Chains A and B, each alone.
Chain A
C-alpha cells in the first residue's frame, strides 16, 4: 500500500523538474558548468516554446484518439476480419515511412508551420493507438460478451458498458506510447517552422552552440517523461 502511494508521488518528480527548469535562468545556470558555451538568450522564452510543443502534442493526441478509436471499433465488429487486417497494414505502413519524409511531403500541401507538423504527428500517433485499441477490444473475454448479449444488451450497450471499459487500460497504454513518441517527433517540426522545443535544437546546430541544443533536448526529454508519468497515473494499479 505504501509502495503504491509512493509510486504515485514519484510520478510528480518529472513535472516538478520540468517546471523548475522553466524558471528563467535556471536551465542556463545548470548547463553552464558543463563548459559547453553560453546558452544565450533565445528569441522566445523556453517556457513559451515548451507550451507550443505541448500544445502540438496534445492536439495531435486528441485527434489521434478521435480518429483511431472509432477506426478500431469499426474494424473489430464481428465479420470484419479482412477490414481489420487491411487497417493494420495501412496503419503499420504509416510508421515505416520516415518522419522527415511525411513532414516534408506535407509541406507542399499544407505550407510551412504547425499544420504539416500536426499531420505528421497524427500519422505517427495513430499506430500505437489503433493497434492497442484493436488488441484491447479483441481481448475482451468471450464469456463476458456472451453474457452481455444473453442478458439483452444491444450492440451499442455492449460496446459502451462492456467492451470499451474492459479495453480501456490497453487503449490508454496506446495513447500514452503515442503521446510520448510524439514529444520526440514534434521537435522535427521546428524545421518546418512549427516552433516548439526543436527550435533551440535546430538553432543550436546551425550556430554550433551545443549548450542551446542541450537546453532544447533536456526540456523535450523532461516533457516526455512528465507526460509519461502523468498518464501512468490514469492506469489502474495492479
Chain B
C-alpha cells in the first residue's frame, strides 16, 4: 500500500503538487490522470524519490520512504517510462536482469527468471534474449521495459506514460497484454497518463489531478457517473461513457442464455469491445445481439446490459 500524506512539491514560489492525500490500494492499478503540468509525473517521481518532496510524506507499507536509502527504495519498486530507456549496449536478457544483478542475485536463477518474464510479456526468449534494443520495434522494446521492471518481482510498479510513444495499434496490443499480466500478478501499480481512454481502460481506480491538486479519486464508474466537479465532467468529455465501453469486451456485459427465447439473428464475437457492440446495435436497428465464442453462442447483449455501468454491477 502506498500512502501520500499532505505531499507537496514546490519549485520556487509555485506548487507542482499541493497537499496531496491519496492511498493507492494493494493489488490495484491506479491511473494518475490529468492535463499536462498537473503534477502527475512529479507525484509519481516522489514515490520512488527521483524527486524529493518539499513537504508531506510518502509511506510504503506503513514505512516512511525517507527512512530508506533512495537506491534501496528504488530497487524494490518497478519503474517503466515512456522513453523505455533500455540500455543500448546490453542485450535484452542483460537489460531485463539489471535489478536482479544490482541486488546481487544468483546469475543462473536470474537467467531462468529472464526467460520466464520474456514469455510473460509475449516475447519468445530464444528469439529475443540476445537481441540488442536497437533491433526491436517500439512495442517490443516497451515489452522488454515492462519485463525489466518486473524482474526482481517488486510488489509496486510505477509507470510514466508507458504506452505513450507507441503507434495506436501497438498501444492497444500492449495495453491488452499488460491488463492480462496485471490480472495475473496483481501488483500495486501507479500509472501516469494523460490519455483518458487508457485510464478508463486499465485503471481499477483513477486519480484525476488538476493544477497540483487531487480533483477526484474513484473508480472509472465514479468519475463518469458521479463527477464531483465541472472540471471532472469537462475533462472526461461528453462521450466518457463510450470511452469506458471501448475498453471492455462485450462478454463482460452479456446476459446468460436462458434456453427458452430464440437467439437474436445478428451475432458478434465475445472479444469485440462493448462500444463496437453498441455501434452494431445502432446499425442493425435491433434490440439484442447474440454473443458467440468460436462460432458458438454463449450469451446475448442488449441496450440495457450496456447501459449498466461497467462489469462490477451492484
A interface with B by C-beta (< 8 Å): 141-154, 157, 161-162, 165-166, 168
* A148 pairs with B71, CB closer than 8 A: no
- The verdict on A151 contacting B74 (CB below 8 Å), with A143-B81, A146-B81 known, is yes
Which residues of chain B are within 8 angstroms of A166 by Cβ–Cβ distance? 87-89
CB–CB B79/A151 < 8 A: yes
A149 and B74 in contact, given A141-B83, A143-B81 (Cβ under 8 angstroms): yes
* With A142-B83, A143-B81, A143-B83 as contacts: A150 and B48 at CB distance below 8 Å: yes
Contact of A152 among B75, B81, B84, B148 (CB under 8 A): B75
Contact call B83/A146, Cβ cutoff below 8 A: yes
Residues of B within 8 A of A143 (CB): 81, 83-85
**A192 to B99 CA separation, bound complex (whole angstroms):** 56
- Residues of chain B lying within 8 A (CB to CB) of residue A161: 87
Residue on A nearest B74 in the bound complex, by CB: A152
- A142–B48 Cα distance when bound, in Å, is 18
Chain B min CB distance to A152 (Å)? 4
Chain A residues with CB under 8 A of B98: 151
A150 engages B50 (CB within 8 Å) = yes
Q: Say if the beta carbon of B73 comes within 8 Å of chain A.
A: yes
Closest chain A residue to B85, Cβ basis: A147
Q: List 27 A-B contacts (CB under 8 A).
A: A141-B85, A141-B88, A142-B83, A143-B83, A143-B85, A146-B81, A146-B83, A147-B79, A147-B81, A147-B85, A149-B50, A150-B74, A150-B85, A151-B74, A151-B75, A152-B70, A152-B71, A152-B72, A152-B74, A152-B75, A152-B76, A152-B102, A154-B71, A161-B87, A165-B89, A166-B89, A168-B89
Checking B84, B88, B89, B99 against A151 with a beta-carbon cut-off of 8 angstroms, the contacting residue is B99
Q: Which B residues fall within an 8 A CB radius of A?
A: 48, 50, 70-76, 79, 81, 83-89, 98-99, 102, 145, 148-149, 158
**Chain A proximity of B101: nearest CB distance (Å):** 9
* Known pairs A151-B102, A152-B102, A153-B102; A144 contacts B71 (CB<8 A): no
Q: In the complex, which residues of chain B have a beta carbon less than 8 angstroms from the beta carbon of A154?
A: 71
> Please, how many angstroms separate the alpha-carbon atoms of A154 and B71 in the complex?
6
* Residues of A with C-beta under 8 A to B74: 149-152
Pairwise interchain contact A150-B79, C-beta atoms closer than 8 A:
yes
Rank and list the top 7 A-B pairs by shortest CB-CB distance, nearest first.
Answer: A147-B85, A143-B83, A152-B75, A152-B74, A150-B79, A143-B85, A152-B71
How far, in Å, is B141 (CB) from chain A's closest CB? 10
Known: A143-B84, A152-B73, A161-B87. 8 other contacts (CB 8 A): A144-B87, A146-B81, A147-B81, A147-B84, A148-B87, A151-B79, A152-B76, A162-B87
Q: Is A144 a contact partner of B99 (Cβ separation < 8 A)?
A: no
Which residues on B sit within 8 Å (CB–CB) of A144?
Answer: 85-88
Report Cα–Cα, A152/B145, bound state, in Å: 15
| Chain A nearest CB, measured from B222 CB (Å) | 30
Nearest residue in B to A150 (C-beta to C-beta)?
B79
Give the shortest distance, in Å, between A17 (CB) and chain B (any CB). 34
Given the interface pairs A152-B74, A153-B71, A157-B102, the reply to whether A147 lies near B50 with Cβ below 8 Å is no
B83 close to A152 (CB less than 8 A)? no
- Enumerate chain B residues within 8 angstroms of A151, measured Cβ to Cβ: 74-75, 79, 98-99, 102, 148-149
What is the bound-complex CA distance between A162 and B148, given in angstroms?
Answer: 16
A152-B71, A152-B74 as given contacts; A147 in contact with B102, CB under 8 Å? no
Bound complex: CA A147 to CA B98 (Å)? 10
How many angstroms from the CA of A31 to the CA of B79 in the assembled complex? 67
Across-interface contacts of A157 in B (CB, < 8 A): 102
Interface centre among A144, A146, A161 (most CB of B within 10 A): A144
A161 to B88, alpha carbons, bound, how many Å?
A: 11
Which of chain A's residues have a CB closer than 8 A to the CB of B86? 144, 147
**A-side contacts of B99, CB under 8 Å:** 151-152
CB distance from A79 to the nearest CB of B (A): 15
Min Cβ gap A16→B in Å is 32
Cα distance A152–B81 in the bound complex, in angstroms? 14
Which residues from chain A contact B87 at a C-beta distance below 8 Å? 144, 147-148, 161-162, 165-166
A157 to B158, CA, bound (A): 22
CA gap between A150 and B87 in the complex, in Å: 13
Complex CA distance for A143 and B148, rounded to whole angstroms: 14
**Shortest Cβ gap from A123 to chain B (Å):** 32
Q: Which of B72, B81, B88, B89 contacts A150 (CB 8 A)?
A: B81
Which of A143, A150, A162 has the most CB atoms of chain B within a 10 A radius of its CB?
A150
Please tell me if the beta carbons of A146 and B85 are within 8 angstroms of each other in the complex: yes
Distance from B71 Cβ to chain A, minimum over Cβ atoms (Å): 5
* Chain B residue at smallest Cβ distance from A157: B102
Which residue in chain B gives the minimum CB-CB distance to A168?
A: B89
